[in-house]
Amino acid sequence: MKKLFFLMIVLTAVVITSCNQANSAQSAPQDETIIDKPQLTLTSNRMTPEVLWSLGRLSDPQVSPDGKTIVYGVSYYSIEQNKGNRDLYAIDADGSNQRRITKSAKSEYNALWRPDGKKIGFLTTESGSMQMWEMNPDGTNRTQISDIAGGITGFKYSPDQSMIVYTKEIPVENKFKDIYEGLPKATGRLVDDLMYRHWDTWADTYSHIFVANYDGAKMSNEKDILPGEPWDAPMKPWGGMEQVNFSPDGKSIVYTSKKQQGKEYSLSTNSENYIYNIETGETKNFTQGMMGFDIAPQYSPDGNYIAWESMERDGFESDKNRLFVLDVNTAEKTYATENFDQNVGSLLWSPDSRSIYFVSDVQGTFQIYEYKLEANEVRKVTDGLHDYGTIAWAGGQLVATKQTMALPTELFVVDPASGTETQITFTNKELLDQLAIGKTEGRWMKTFDGMDMLTWVIYPPDFDPNKKYPTLLYLKGGPQGPLSQSFHYRWNYQIMAANDYIIVAPNRRGVSGFGQAWQEQISGDYHGKSMKDYLTAIDIMAKEPFVDADHMGAIGASAGGWAAYYLAGNHEGRFKAFIAHDGIFNEEAQYLETEEMWFENWDKGGAFWEKNNKIIKDVYENSPHKFVQNWDTPILVIHGEQDFRVVYTQGMTAFNAAILRGVPAEFLFFPDENHWVLQPQNGILWQRTFFAWLDKWLK
């Protein structure tokens, strides 16, 4: 699942990709009520669930062709209406003249400047289905550009403005349609291969790429560039228009696809990058023989190079995300970050094609880096306790999204030479200025085997070292990926601190940003080093006079839920309460219930019936459910029915086991949520249940 978490930090938590934005909005109920910035009167200076859901969520900054103006989206949520709405804003690159340019009941997504700078294109459901529209830079004169049956999910202009490339969903042909004849109300699904559903969606459609002529007012002559091909481009579920790009001369399109189906698809991460010649229709695979994830190709401004993100090993989604560069003229490939033991993401060419800027996770943060082609070297641009996300050019400066554990995403201008930053948007300043914020501290600790481990400690606002505080061990999901400075809208450290808990968040084995070797130590060993790392961190903190060692809890989701279930049977009395959200309880069942078999085979070593393999044997013998006879500590279990990655029966069986064991337990079940909790009222119910449980057992 690490690929997900890296993308969620670099993309989704900072800027929701256009394809996923469109899909989400198209499926969400739409009415004619405009949602404005909530007017919330605070009764205290502490973060609450209602405050959390009142914060504006900024995403997807796009700079005008002249570099002077930035358009971006902000989503606000109505708790009463139980939905959100996204409008577009603009601001000058120097931070002046901020203005709202849309105010409608239908959200706007995928906003892009037309190459001539005279119009802004965007997606909205104003006409019923998701279509492309345009407007003047001030938001006036909204005009519908596309009228595509079923709607579209993303788009981009060609550099010369003569074409538009867009994506849409193509229905999968039902190979069993004869059986369904005369049964229009039948709801049964008949399948004969794997990957029939993924994360939270049944595989009923393919995503395909189309190219169309554009005359400044309408699209015409739409053409599917993958006609008849039964696979997704961009890749689902997280791929968007960052995986589709024009060449500077507008003659070619580069795109990402994993051209596999069924069982083969479920076992492999081998995606490829392709060049499609618009005139001839010829398609060329330029990453053939590169066996891991290869994604997000983009041409240099001079058209001589293509840069992309690449993983080396097939089936290992947590492999190092590397920067590769293709010389278009010679077909030579360069592993640009061979001597750089970190991941890369959010690639951005310099205007002169001599450098590639990117974002990378390092020691619990995300920083901006520069790769210089001629010198073949990487330079760190920024430093500090923050997460940078997307980056773009605005004149000679970088415009970047940035967040911290205490600051939701905002826009910053960054000097590419010095790394000096200036905040230019203040979306939530009025609300945040009224809140007391807890301090975040990084502590380096020695693990049981003498390694150095960074642990984040977040203190309550108005922390008094002479008091004792109940303390929470945060169990990270993934299990790979970063534990960084992200501002989360559910697992939010500040709202935990605001409830007078100390939070201990160890960057245990498996976390990225500390070298690939550190991250890989968790594969095949969830129960070993990483669990000892957790206990090392909480044992060290328990010695502090301000930590109430008699009132400690352990909380986590996904792989963190796995850890909560495991520690519930192996904690030797350390904890007085557990919370597991969407966690894996029974590894044998998980192997046969989930969909991404590449993940199971890599991290577990293979199927549970292959017991001649020691790693496999150890993995399944240490499944959390094998220790349920030791459970004696209250546990709250949370799960969503639409979670196809970790099926809800994992949570149900854990809860049932606790009750049958006589262990105090509660089960919070969401029939309409997936691996996350995305609806405002459900989110608030989650928070209220979370803290009611902790307060009951830890205070």
Q: Give pLDDT tens digits for 193-202.
A: 999 999 999 9
Terminal Cα-to-Cα distance of the chain (whole angstroms):
34
One DSSP character per residue, 17-61 reads -HHHHHHHHHHS---SPPP-------SSSS--HHHHTTS-EEEEE
Assign 657 a pLDDT band (cuts: 50, 70, 90).
very high
Under 8 Å between Cβ of 422 and 413: yes
DSSP strands (E only) in 172-264? 197-198, 201-202, 205-214, 219-224, 244-246, 252-257
Q: Which residue in this structure is represented by tokens 């990926």?
A: 481
Q: What confidence score (pLDDT) does residue 35 get?
A: 87
Under 8 Å between Cβ of 491 and 48: no
Assign 1 a pLDDT band (cuts: 50, 70, 90).
low
Burial class (CB in 10 A: 0-12, 13-18, 19+), 115: middle
CA angle 429, 434, 438 (to 5 degrees): 95
The residue type found at 91 is I
Pairing, β 109-113 against β 120-124? antiparallel
The pair of three-digit structure tokens given for residue 336, joined into one six-digit string: 């640009």
Helices (H), 521-585: 529-542, 559-568
Assign 17 a pLDDT band (cuts: 50, 70, 90).
very low
Instruction: Give Cα separations from 455 to 8, 422, 441, 506, 602 (angstroms).
Output: 21, 28, 8, 4, 27
- Evaluate if residue 20 carries a pLDDT over 50: no
Residues marked active site are found at 558, 643, 675
Instruction: Supply φ then ψ for residue 214, to 5 degrees.
Output: -140, 125
The pTM of the full predicted model, rounded to 2 decimals, is: 0.95
**Nearest in space to 59 (alpha carbons), one of 24, 29, 34:** 24
Q: Give pLDDT tens digits for 54-100.
A: 999 999 999 999 999 999 999 999 999 999 999 999 999 999 999 99
Q: Which residue in this structure is represented by tokens 């009463």?
A: 80
Cα separation, 513 vs 6, whole angstroms = 11
Assign 600 a pLDDT band (cuts: 50, 70, 90).
very high
Assign 326 a pLDDT band (cuts: 50, 70, 90).
very high
CA angle 648, 587, 260 (to 5 degrees): 80
Under 8 Å between Cβ of 470 and 501: yes
How do the domains of the chain map onto residue ranges?
436-698
Pairing, β 635-640 against β 577-581? parallel
Instruction: Give Cα separations from 103 to 40, 64, 89, 134, 283 (angstroms).
Output: 20, 21, 10, 15, 42
% of the chain surpassing 70 pLDDT: 95
Q: What integer is the mean pLDDT of 229-239?
A: 95
Sign of the torsion formed by the C-alpha atoms of 203, 293, 6 and 563: positive
Of the candidate CATH numbers 3.40.50.1820, 3.40.50.720, 3.40.1190.20, 3.20.20.70, the domain formed by 436-698 belongs to 3.40.50.1820
> Of the given ranges (33-47, 340-354, 376-390, 601-615), which has the lowest mean pLDDT?
33-47
- Evaluate if residue 24 carries a pLDDT over 70: no
- Evaluate if residue 21 carries a pLDDT over 60: no
Q: What confidence score (pLDDT) does residue 14 get?
A: 34
Assign 25 a pLDDT band (cuts: 50, 70, 90).
very low
- Evaluate if residue 421 carries a pLDDT over 60: yes
Under 8 Å between Cβ of 426 and 85: no
CA angle 565, 570, 575 (to 5 degrees): 80
Other Cβ atoms closer than 10 A to 131: 22
Under 8 Å between Cβ of 560 and 503: no
Sign of the torsion formed by the C-alpha atoms of 221, 225, 230 and 236: negative
Q: Is 691 helix (H, G, I), strand (E, B) or coil?
A: helix
Instruction: Give Cα separations from 507 to 32, 367, 446, 514, 648 (angstroms).
Output: 45, 17, 12, 9, 27
For residue 682, how many C-alpha atoms fall within 13 Å in the half-sphere facing its CB?
A: 15
Under 8 Å between Cβ of 284 and 293: no
